[in-house]
Structure 1
Amino acid sequence: MAAFNLTRSDPSPFILMGIPGLEAAHIWISIPFSMFYIISLFGNFMLLFVVGKEQTLHKPMYLLLCMLALTDIGMSTSVIPKALCIFWFNLKGITVDGCFTQMFFLHMLTVMQSAILVTMAFDRYVAICNPLRYATILTNARIAKLGLVSLTRAVLFILPLPLLLSRLPFCANRIIPHTYCEHMAVAKMLCGDITVNRTYGLVIALVVIWLDLMLIALFYGLIIRAILRISSKKAHQKALNTCTAHICVMLMSYAPCLFSHLSQRFGQGIASHVHVTFANFYLLVPPMLNPIIYGAKTKELRDKMGKYICRSLLLGATDIKAV
C-alpha cells in the first residue's frame, strides 16, 4: 500500500521518446502516420454509417464488422493523436494517470478485438458448414451477447495490469523509448522485482492470443475441409471468397501483434526503432485496410458503400455548381 501511495502521489510525468534513433525524421514519419489514421477513421466510420443506415445489413456478420470497426477506431485513437503530438510539437510528457489509462484501453481493446476475430471465424464456420441452421444459431441478440462477453473478458484480463504496476515505485528515470505506454515498457521503469508483471503479461499472451489463434485455426481448418468436399465449382468459389477477407484481416491483425509482443520480451538484439515501428504498424495499417478489404470482398457491403459514396460525390458536385 505504501508503494501504491508513493507511485500515485509522485507528480513527475513520464517521457515518451517517440521512435528512438529516428528523432530527426519524426516530421517525415508523421506524414504516413496522419494519412493512415485519417483513412482509417474515414473507412471505419463509413462502414458504421452504412451498416447503421441499411436495414438489409442488420445481420450477424455485419454487426461483427461494426464491432471490429469500433475496436479499430478505439485502438488507433488511444495512441496516434499522442504520437502525432510527439512528432509535430515535441510534447513528450504524459502523466502517470494518463499513461495507465492509455495502456488499459489499448490492451483492453486488443484483447476484445481478438475475441471478435474468433467470433467472426465461428460465424463463417456456421455459415459454410451448417448453413441451414445459421439463422437460428447466430441471431443478432446472440451476437450482442457475445460482444458483451468479449468486453467483459477483456476488462477482467487487463484491469490487473495497472494495479500490478501501482504496487511498486517508479525509478528516477521515467523515459519510455516508445510512442505510447506499452505494458512492459512501463514495467521496466519500476524499482523492484517485476517478475509478477512479466509473468502476468506472458499468461495473457498465452491464454488470450495463442488460445484465440488456436480456435481460429480450428474453425478455418473445419471450413477448408468443408470447402474441399463441395462438388459445385460455383459454390466452392463463393465459399472461398467469403473466407478470403477474414483470413487477410486476421493475418494482418495477429502477425505484427505477435512480433511486437515477442520482441518486447525476447528480442534484445532487435533495434529499438524496429520494435517501435512494428508496434505502431498493427495500430495503423489493419484499421486502415480492414474496411477496404471487407468493402472489396463483400458484394452486399460494397454495393451499399458505393451507393453512399456516389451520392456524396454527386451532392458535392451539385454544391460546387450552385456556388
Structure 2
Amino acid sequence: MALTTRRMIEENGNTVANRTPKEGRAIAFLYKNDDALTSIFELAGTKEDDMTASAAWTLASDPHFLQAFLDQFLDPVTLDHIEWDQIQILMQNYMPNKGITDLEVFQPDLFHIILEAKKGWVLPADSQLQHYSNRFSSQTVHRLVVLSECNERRFHKMFPDPFLGGIPLQYMSWESLYELAKEVHAKSKHKQKFWLQDFIHYVEKVVPMQQTDSNWVYVVSLSDDKPDGWDISWKDIVEKKNYYFHPTEGGGWPKNPPNYIAFRYDGQLQSIHHIDDYEVIDDFHPFIQEIPPGAINPHFLYTLGPPIYPPKIIKNGPSIRWANRAWCMLDTLLTSDTITEAREISVAR
C-alpha cells in the first residue's frame, strides 16, 4: 500500500492517524560526537576550510546571495556588465609562486575577487596577501577581500592602507556575510532557501555572535580587588571605565557575547547593562591605561550601555555565592526578590 500524507492504520485495535514527517523538517535528530547537527555543512566540519566551503557552495547555489555579495565590492558600472552565467568560483586554487587562495570569484576579462578567509579574530599577514597580487590581470577590476570574525576597527588598525601593492583591500566579517544571507532569503526560490537556511544555521553555530534579540542576562560578581600591577579594581573597570572583559574560551565563560550583563557585589544586584559593543583584544592597556601593557590570551571586551538600576533590593539568595555566575531572564531579574529566584524561574520556563 502506498504511503500517503495521512492514512488510517490499525494500532492496538484502534484506528489512529499515522503521523508522517512534515515537509522541510528532519525526520530524526542527528548527532555527531554528542553534538546536535542543525546544518548539512556541519557534516564536513567547522574548521576554516570547511567554513569557506560552506560560503562558496551557498554563493554558487543562490544568484541573489551572489549578487548581494558582489554588490559589496564592485562598482555600479562593473555590476551592469556582469554576465551571470560566466561567473566562476574557485576554491583552494594553487598556482606556483602565487600561493593557494581560499576563494576566488571572477568573470573573465571583467572582475576578479580573491577572498582570504579566517576562522576567529585572526587576520592574514601582509606577506600572505602579497602572494596573490600577481594573480590579477590588468584588464579586470580586482579586489582583495579578507573574511574574518574580527570587527572593522581591528582590521583597519592592522591594515590602515586601503591598498596592498596597488590592489584595493577590503574587509567583510562572517557576521556581515550571515546578514546578507538572511536579507536575500525571502527573495530566493525554494531550493535556494534550503541552502541559505542551512548556511545561516551553520554560521550561527560556528561564529560567535551577539544575540541582539535575547533577553537573557549574564550575572557576574565584582570586587574592590586590584590584581598585582594594576592600578584599578574590577569594580572601577565597570563603574568608571564602562568596560567588562572575560576570556573568549574556557572557564565556563560565554562563547558568544550576551546581550545584557548584570553586576552584583555586597550581597545584592547592583546594575544591569546592555552590551552596546564588543571586540576581541589581546592587550588590556590600549583600553584601560591603569593596566600595564602586555600580551594576553584573547578576551572579549564589552562596552557597556547606561546602567539599569533594580527597582528594589535584590539579594543574591542561597545559591548565588562567592564568584558564581548565573543566567537570568531580564524580567525575572527585575521582579524577583533574589537572583537565585530569578534564575530558577528563568530555567523553569
- Shorter-chain TM range is under 0.3
TM-score (norm 1): 0.26
Larger Rg: 2
TM-score, length-scaled by structure 2: 0.25
Q: Larger strand proportion, structure 1 or 2?
A: 2
Instruction: Considering fraction of residues, name the structure with more helix.
Output: 1
Relative contact order higher in (CA < 8 Å, ≥ 6 apart): 1
